[in-house]
Homo-oligomer: A and B are copies of this chain.
Amino acid sequence: MLAAERTSVNVAVIGHSFMGKIHTQAWRTAPRFFDLGVEPQLSVVCGRDMKATESFAAEHGFGRAESDWRAVIDDPEIDIIDICAPGHLHATIAIAALNAGKHVLCEKPLANSLDEATQMAAAAAAARVSGVRSMVGYSYRRTPALAYAHQLIDEGRIGTIRHIRAEYLQDWIVDEDFPLVWRLERDKAGSGALGDIGAHIIDLAQYISGHRIAGLSALTETFVKSRPLPGSSSGLHATGGDGRGDVTVDDSAIVIARTDQGALATFEATRFAAGRKNAMRIEINGSRGSLAFDFEQLNELWFHDHTAPAAEAGFRRILVTEPEHPYAGAWWPAGHGLGYDHTFVHEIADFVRDIAAGRDPKPSFDDGLQVQRILDAVERSAASNAGWVTVQAEQ
């Protein structure tokens, strides 16, 4: 918890691969473009391989490297734990950190199972009483175009929502010889495309629309059942090593759903859409208008105003780079687009501002748990050959 007089906060980043690196860049950049109230210090980075961690610490200007995350949590100097480790470690680290009074930012999905997520939300609730803050890293909410989509719907510009159509398409494992990286192993990743990218569109669809998924029917598939064991990997790229192993997660998931407010929704998450690199797409159709977005063109939001005269109506391409748009005013002039990493800067900025202001940040662990309930429902439906599963409403 942050004392009122504090002007800086000490941050520990757990994990330093793809997510750890982009979080670090965000921690470094956020205070330069946003007024945070306090100045984050990159105090510790933590990783299993001490040599690699030390090298990362040096490259990125951390105060020190650690290989034991427990030591980090025990360090009284640390205020914030930023969990960028694989999903199977989320629950243990987050709960320990919250219990130790550290503010926690945890990458998504919140956990690898509904049980873990439930425990985490409980720990967050307990810690909240003492002013300890927690947040789950559904960073896409803070892409300016998607934050603006949320705002337009909130202002009633779309009217009654009829359809939500979301897909997250990647292609990095189309090649059958792409190796068995940790993201393809259930014990580490929890699930495959579902939890990795499907979780994003489920969170986003609900966040933007204000609807909650009430029930669903789903199929999942693992197209390539075994793969070469990995040699080295970084980000989503990897090279093969010796031997083979079983793929224990889904390659793809497709879902049809009803929302609590009467809309129909479809979701698809796949790593087998050849040619689609990071096509996180969402379209929402309502009685007064529609919105469409594709992350491959992340600075654009398409808006159809159905109240305009028919002759001049059409989807308009809004470049979400005006000072009036969420977050955009902190950056460059109109039309000078932002990238993937800026979204994380926004996330860190909001997280720190909320901590400094004594507010609970969003999305909360409860929000993360609610997504987890849907991921769980998807898996249960898929296991029963697309049987209908009602999603339990929050209490």
**A-to-B contact residues, CB < 8 Å:** 18, 22, 24-25, 28-29, 31-33, 59-61, 148, 152, 162-163, 165, 167, 169-172, 174, 176, 215, 217-219, 221, 223, 235-237, 251-252, 254-258, 262, 264-266, 268, 270, 272-279, 283, 285-290, 295-300, 303-304, 306, 309-319, 321-325, 331-342, 385-388
Docked pose: A276 CA to B148 CA in angstroms: 20
Do A333 and B275 touch across chains, with their CB atoms under 8 A apart? no
Chain multiplicity (copies): 4
Do A163 and B270 touch across chains, with their CB atoms under 8 A apart? yes
CB-contact partner of A18 in B279, B324, B333, under 8 A? B333
**A257 contacts across to B, CB distance below 8 A:** 219
Do A252 and B339 touch across chains, with their CB atoms under 8 A apart? no
Q: Which 10 A-B pairs have the closest CB atoms?
A: A277-B335, A278-B335, A275-B304, A339-B339, A316-B316, A217-B386, A336-B340, A236-B333, A311-B324, A314-B318
With contact pairs A312-B303, A315-B316 given, residues A287 and B274 touching in the complex (Cβ less than 8 Å)? yes
Docked pose: A257 CA to B336 CA in angstroms: 28
CB-contact partner of A163 in B33, B273, B288, B303, under 8 A? B273
CB-contact partner of A319 in B219, B314, B338, B387, under 8 A? B314
With contact pairs A163-B273, A167-B165, A324-B309 given, residues A223 and B262 touching in the complex (Cβ less than 8 Å)? yes
CB-contact partner of A385 in B60, B298, B335, B388, under 8 A? B388
Do B32 and A29 touch across chains, with their CB atoms under 8 A apart? no
Do B275 and A313 touch across chains, with their CB atoms under 8 A apart? yes
Question: Could you pull out 13 A-B pairs where Cβ atoms are within 8 angstroms?
Answer: A22-B332, A162-B174, A163-B273, A217-B219, A218-B256, A221-B258, A256-B256, A276-B335, A311-B318, A314-B319, A317-B317, A337-B337, A338-B340
Docked pose: A297 CA to B24 CA in angstroms: 26
Docked pose: A386 CA to B270 CA in angstroms: 22
Residue on B nearest A286 in the bound complex, by CB: B274
Do A311 and B325 touch across chains, with their CB atoms under 8 A apart? yes
With contact pairs A25-B29, A252-B163 given, residues A306 and B275 touching in the complex (Cβ less than 8 Å)? yes
**A321 contacts across to B, CB distance below 8 A:** 277-278
Do B255 and A273 touch across chains, with their CB atoms under 8 A apart? no
Docked pose: A386 CA to B121 CA in angstroms: 31
**A303 contacts across to B, CB distance below 8 A:** 312, 314
Docked pose: A33 CA to B336 CA in angstroms: 21
Docked pose: A87 CA to B278 CA in angstroms: 40
Name the distance in Å between A344's Cβ and chain B's nearest Cβ. Answer: 10
CB-contact partner of A274 in B148, B288, B324, B325, under 8 A? B288
Residue on B nearest A255 in the bound complex, by CB: B256
Docked pose: A297 CA to B163 CA in angstroms: 23
With contact pairs A163-B272, A297-B297, A333-B278 given, residues A28 and B18 touching in the complex (Cβ less than 8 Å)? no
Do B322 and A318 touch across chains, with their CB atoms under 8 A apart? no
Do A165 and B268 touch across chains, with their CB atoms under 8 A apart? yes
Residue on B nearest A159 in the bound complex, by CB: B274
**A304 contacts across to B, CB distance below 8 A:** 274-275, 316
Name the distance in Å between A22's Cβ and chain B's nearest Cβ. Answer: 7
Name the distance in Å between A199's Cβ and chain B's nearest Cβ. Answer: 16
Which of A33, A322, A336, A340 counts the most B-chain CB atoms under 10 A from its CB?
A336
**A264 contacts across to B, CB distance below 8 A:** 219, 221, 252, 254, 270
Docked pose: A256 CA to B165 CA in angstroms: 13
With contact pairs A268-B165, A316-B317, A339-B342 given, residues A289 and B274 touching in the complex (Cβ less than 8 Å)? yes
Name the distance in Å between A152's Cβ and chain B's nearest Cβ. Answer: 8
**A285 contacts across to B, CB distance below 8 A:** 169, 171, 270, 272-276
**A316 contacts across to B, CB distance below 8 A:** 304, 312-317
Residue on B nearest A160 in the bound complex, by CB: B223
